[in-house]
Amino acid sequence: MTSFRAFTPADLNRFAKCNLDPLTETYDIGFYLQYYAKWPSLFQVAVDDKGNILGYIMGKTESSPDYFKRSEHYLPWHAHITALTVAPEARRLGIGKILTEKLEAGAEAADTWFIDLFVRKSNEKAIKFYESMGYSVYRVVKDYYGDNVSDPTANGEDAYDMRKPTKRDKTLKHIRDDGRNHEVQPEDVF
């Protein structure tokens, strides 16, 4: 079985099932703890009856810093998905979807304009997943990732910056239909 609840630090000792997967990055402990301390309600997990973490989502709310204010790339108050992963054995059951919905509820509660995330251009599964959840590409960040999963000789890999509007954005002013044609450089994104 699977149940859903907020993350607690003890879960870090039980997330091997997710993080042994090569597509899931394992960070320094401070990274997870920082999200936990700042945005506890945006850090949600799915657990099985043995206490194993089967999936988690970790996110934050923010806007670009003030010195970015005049830039065309300035981001207003929004929520960001920093990590989302579901253990390989538990995929295609809707766990990713529920976790994302929970984060979205937090984003609505915080009155943000949209939810966004970065995903490797080659990660088709994840892109399909986000599209099924109503996200669309807003812009392409060139060589955002230092390495390239599908082509080790390449310098890096592009990221899609994907977005979904919240209820606040009634006119969809923060969404683009032709996002795949908008390319930006890594230094343009905050």
Ligand X SMILES: CC(C)(COP(=O)(O)OP(=O)(O)OC[C@H]1O[C@@H](n2cnc3c(N)ncnc32)[C@H](O)[C@@H]1OP(=O)(O)O)[C@@H](O)C(=O)NCCC(=O)NCCS
Tell me which of another protein, ligand X, none is bound by residue 85, counting a contact when its beta carbon lies within the kind-specific cut-off of 5 to 8 angstroms: ligand X
Kindly determine how many residues on this chain lie close enough to bind ligand X according to the rule CB under 6 A.
20
What's the per-residue H, E or C state across 48-108? CCCCCEEEEEEEEEECCCHHHCCCCCCCCCEEEEEEEEECHHHCCCCHHHHHHHHHHHHHH
| CB contact at 8 A, 77 and 65 | no
CB 55 within 8 A of CB 45: yes
Segment contacting ligand X by CB under 6 A, of 35-43, 63-71, 127-135, 173-181: 127-135
- Please give the structure tokens belonging to residue 167: 């209820």
* Binders of ligand X in range 20-49 (CB under 6 A): 23-24
Which CB sits closer to ligand X, 125 or 173?
A: 125
Q: Which is nearer to another protein, 80 or 139 (CB)?
A: 80
Decide if 11 contacts 81 (C-beta within 8 A).
no
Q: Residue 24 or residue 63: which is nearer to ligand X going by CB?
A: 24
> Footprint of another protein on this chain (CB under 8 A)?
1-6, 8-10, 12-17, 19-20, 22, 26-30, 32-34, 36-41, 46, 49-52, 88-90, 92-95, 97-98, 105, 109
Which of another protein, ligand X, none lies near 9, with the C-beta cut-off 5 to 8 A by kind? another protein
